[in-house]
């Protein structure tokens, strides 16, 4: 997925720095990704650790992690279900919440009418299969993840769902075909949560804690509201021109509260190694983070120049560079 703050291109850098600091094999370690997003960092560490703890306050992120971090369904079943679901969206054609609220028909052209109907059909079918016990919970989250990622590729937006484009762009005109969300099957006892990070941190413990909170005032609940709506598929009255749903506002996106939020989290963290990704354009300054980390143990950092992206009609456009810091605390 094209995702603000994605660590896809930084994941190998983060992995190598964690390995360097810990300076031992990770096979007996519990690794926690507390702001998981698309689960990129947790997925990077998954093959090398004893257990992954993944968390995100956004429900669509929880769905992704349930697939990528917990799943272990058989490849034969994966292919069978994807084929059946794609057949269903060709045959059933059910008008539903997305068509009536987020399509050309609704004057909120996040999706073409045809693709909105296919999203509705897929989402209704997945729910029916689950309620009728045709699929189990692992298969349910696999199919939801596959739908979310496939629909996102056809969204008529400039990267995020804060607004839709006035004209349907070329990529959004393609017909929806649900592609399988590839995952690495696991036998680990991994845990996936959908909670406030500062509350969850009081109830978990492990070895390595990785933090990648929001850096600025842009709320993920607003930027990706439509992914939450597809994932939850609940009834509500969309607000305004963009069809926003109610969402929880994060203290990490508030200049007046973010310093205390980080300090409280670090103070309560029952982890020896803490790593925080944060760039030089965030609400917290470099010295803010240094001051907090230095109170609780040995502090250091590494940095890397990183290509910044700006949304446009082609989804993303390269726009200068920023410095990505990895702040390190050994408690």
**Packing angle between helix 75-91 and helix 113-131, nearest 10 degrees?**
130
116 and 230, same domain (yes or no): yes
Do 94 and 43 share a structural domain? no
Residue 214's CB: how many other CB atoms inside 10 A?
Answer: 22
For residues 107 and 167, state if they share a domain: yes
Same domain? For 132 and 157 the reply is yes
Q: Assess whether 203 and 59 both reside in one domain.
A: yes
Beta bridge partners of 86: none
CA dist 284 and 192 (Å) reads 27
Domains in the chain: how many in total?
A: 2
- List the structure tokens of 317: 């456009």
Cβ atoms < 10 Å from Cβ of 120:
25
State pTM to two decimals. Answer: 0.93
Are 123 and 160 found together in one domain? yes
Considering the domain architecture, whether residues 167 and 293 belong to the same structural domain is answered as: no
Whether residue 258 sits in one domain with residue 126: no
pLDDT on residue 159: 85
In whole angstroms, give the CA distance from residue 110 to residue 156. Answer: 5
Find the helix or strand (DSSP H, E) in which 237 lies. none
* Domain interval for residue 116: 72-182+220-246
CA distances in angstroms from 237 to 161, 229, 241, listed in the order given: 17, 11, 12
What pLDDT does residue 175 have?
97
Does residue 228 share a domain with residue 259? no
- Give pLDDT tens digits along the chain (331 positions): 778 878 888 999 999 999 999 999 999 999 999 999 999 999 999 999 999 999 999 999 999 999 999 999 999 999 999 999 999 999 999 999 999 999 999 999 999 999 999 999 999 999 999 999 999 999 999 999 999 999 999 999 998 999 999 999 999 999 999 999 999 998 999 999 999 999 999 999 999 999 999 999 989 999 999 999 999 999 999 999 999 999 999 999 999 999 999 999 999 999 999 999 999 889 999 999 999 999 999 999 999 887 655 544 444 444 567 889 999 999 9
For 2, counting Cβ atoms within 10 Å of its Cβ (0-12 exposed, 13-18 middle, 19+ buried), the class is middle
How far are the Cα atoms of 64, 85, 105, 150, 249 from residue 118, in angstroms, in the given order? 20, 10, 14, 11, 31
Residue 8 pLDDT: 86
What pLDDT score was predicted for residue 2? 76
Residue 318's CATH number: 3.40.50.150
Among residues 44, 4, 54, 46, the alpha carbon closest in space to that of 204 is found at: 54
Contact between 214 and 252 under an 8 Å Cβ cutoff? The reply is: yes
What sign does the dihedral 254-205-139-44 (CA atoms) show? positive
Q: Name the DSSP class of 74.
A: -
The single-letter DSSP state of residue 72 is -
Written as six digits, the tokens of 310 are 């700006």
Residues 190 and 299 in one domain: yes
Query: Is the domain of 198 the same as that of 297?
Result: yes
Q: Mark whether 16 and 92 lie in a shared domain.
A: no
């Amino acid at each position: 997925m094209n995702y603000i703050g994605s660590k896809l291109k930084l994941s190998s850098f983060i992995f190598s720095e964690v390995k360097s600091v810990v300076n031992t094999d990770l096979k007996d370690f519990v690794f926690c990704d507390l702001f998981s997003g698309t689960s990129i960092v947790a997925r990077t560490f998954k093959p090398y650790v004893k257990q992954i703890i993944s968390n995100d306050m956004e429900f669509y992120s929880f769905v992704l992690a349930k697939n990528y971090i917990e799943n272990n369904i058989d490849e034969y079943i994966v292919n069978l279900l994807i084929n059946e679901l794609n057949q269903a969206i060709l045959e059933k054609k059910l008008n539903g919440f997305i068509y009536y609220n987020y399509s050309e028909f609704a004057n909120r052209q996040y999706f073409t009418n045809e693709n909105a109907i296919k999203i509705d059909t897929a989402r209704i079918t997945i729910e029916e299969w689950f309620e009728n016990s045709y699929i189990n919970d692992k298969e349910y989250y696999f199919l939801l993840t596959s739908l979310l990622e496939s629909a996102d590729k056809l969204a008529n937006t400039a990267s995020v769902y804060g607004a839709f484009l006035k004209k349907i762009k070329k990529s959004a005109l393609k017909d929806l075909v649900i592609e399988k969300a590839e995952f690495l099957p696991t036998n680990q006892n991994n845990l996936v949560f959908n909670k406030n990070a500062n509350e969850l941190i009081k109830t978990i413990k492990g070895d390595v804690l990785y933090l990648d909170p929001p850096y600025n005032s842009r709320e993920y609940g607003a930027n990706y509201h439509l992914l939450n709506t597809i994932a939850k598929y609940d009834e509500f009255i969309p607000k305004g021109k963009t069809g926003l749903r109610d969402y929880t506002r994060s203290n990490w996106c508030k200049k007046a509260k973010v310093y205390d939020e980080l300090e409280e989290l670090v103070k309560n963290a029952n982890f020896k190694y803490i790593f925080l990704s944060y760039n030089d354009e965030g609400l917290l300054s470099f010295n803010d983070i240094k001051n907090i980390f230095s109170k609780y143990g040995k502090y250091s950092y590494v940095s890397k120049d990183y290509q910044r992206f700006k949304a446009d009609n082609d989804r993303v456009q390269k726009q200068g560079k920023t410095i990505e810091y990895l702040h390190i605390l050994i408690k």
